[in-house]
Amino acid sequence: MSNGLGILIRTNNHLPPLTALRAFEAAARHTSFSKAADELHVTPAAVSHQIHALEQDLGVTLFHRMNRAIELTASARVLLPGLTEAFTGIQSAVRRLRAHNDTGTLTVTASPSIAAKWLVLRLHRFQERHPDIDVRISATDEVVDLTMADFDLAIRYGCGKYPGLEVELLFTNEVFPACSPQLLSAGPPLRTPDVIGELVRLFSLALPDQFAYYIVTAPGALERPKVRAFRNWLRQEADH
């Protein structure tokens, strides 16, 4: 704002142009104007110009410029983490928005065991009902961040406590003793679990597993028809 003497006074709420901040973040992350230019699809001169304008706006020097390299100043190191986090959040928000356009691809992450032994064996029934939805399964034990990664739904084995996500019980599990049928008929006595063929159940005794399988989605994901359809189909399959 301006006082009566015509002097320009900037408040702490003033933000530099977004394009300049983006140029700085990319250059600082790569420690290179040319690599930043490649990422942003502009020329290195354009990146340099944006960063110079940002330095003028902030009143600080952000890079030590050497012959063939640049080095971050202390001021740049203060600025960089917050900007990287902010731009990552923007990218995540845009990905979620684009997912709301409901393309025909549905991405599911599940552990290799349930993916191979349960999900894939039944998947043809979902495809018969919804031939327009292309289901892609990532069989991995890695727990992905559903609010950040490119997955619509997860099937997780655990205690069911996943803060910030929508969680539904898929089915419970139980554990019971089993062994190779050859062991029962011919021995030797069972001392270690090394002998595996097909297994047979030893007794009717079973104990409930402390963990279970859950359907997990990011907030708002079930508003998309393809995600809701797959969730409903999973629950129907689990009830059979």
| Residue 81, token pair as written in the block | 């983490």
Note the CATH architecture for domain 18-99. Orthogonal Bundle (1.10)
What are the sequence ranges of the domains in the chain?
18-99, 105-188+195-239
| Residues 27 and 70 sit within 8 Å (Cβ to Cβ) | yes
Residue 164 has pLDDT above 80, yes or no: yes
Contact 72, 25 (CB under 8 A): no
141 DSSP assignment: S
The string of pLDDT tens digits covering residues 82-124 is 999 999 999 888 877 766 566 688 999 999 989 999 999 999 9
Half-sphere exposure of 111 (CA within 13 A, CB side): 11
pLDDT value at position 212?
86
Give all strands of the β-sheet with 105-110 in edge-to-edge order: 134-139, 105-110, 153-158, 207-217, 166-175
CB 217 within 8 A of CB 165: yes
**Share above pLDDT 70 across residues of the chain, in percent, rounded to a whole number:** 78
Buried b (16+ CB within 10 A) or exposed e, 198-234: eeeeeeeeeeeeeebbbbbbbeebbebebbeebbebb
Note the pLDDT of residue 190. 55
Tens-digit pLDDT profile for residues 1-37: 444 444 544 556 788 999 999 999 999 999 999 999 9
Token digits of residue 192:
């270690």
pLDDT of residue 204: 67
Confidence of residue 206 (pLDDT cuts 50, 70, 90): low
Torsion (CA) 107, 113, 119, 120 in degrees, nearest 10? 90
164 DSSP 8-state letter? T
Task: Please give the pLDDT value at position 9.
Answer: 47
Residue with structure tokens 């020329």? 43
CA 113/CA 69 separation, integer angstroms: 49
Q: Identify the three-state secondary structure at position 52.
A: helix
Average model confidence (pLDDT) across the chain: 84
What pLDDT is attached to residue 4? Answer: 47
Q: What is the pTM for the complete model shown?
A: 0.52
What is the CATH code of the structural domain delimited by 105-188+195-239? 3.40.190.10
> Cα–Cα distance between 212 and 88 in angstroms, integer?
33
Say if residue 149's pLDDT is above 70: no
Q: Which helix (H) or strand (E) holds 16?
A: none
**Distance (Å, whole) CA 128 – CA 218:** 26
Nearest to 166 by CA among 107, 217, 102: 217
Output DSSP code: residue 101.
T
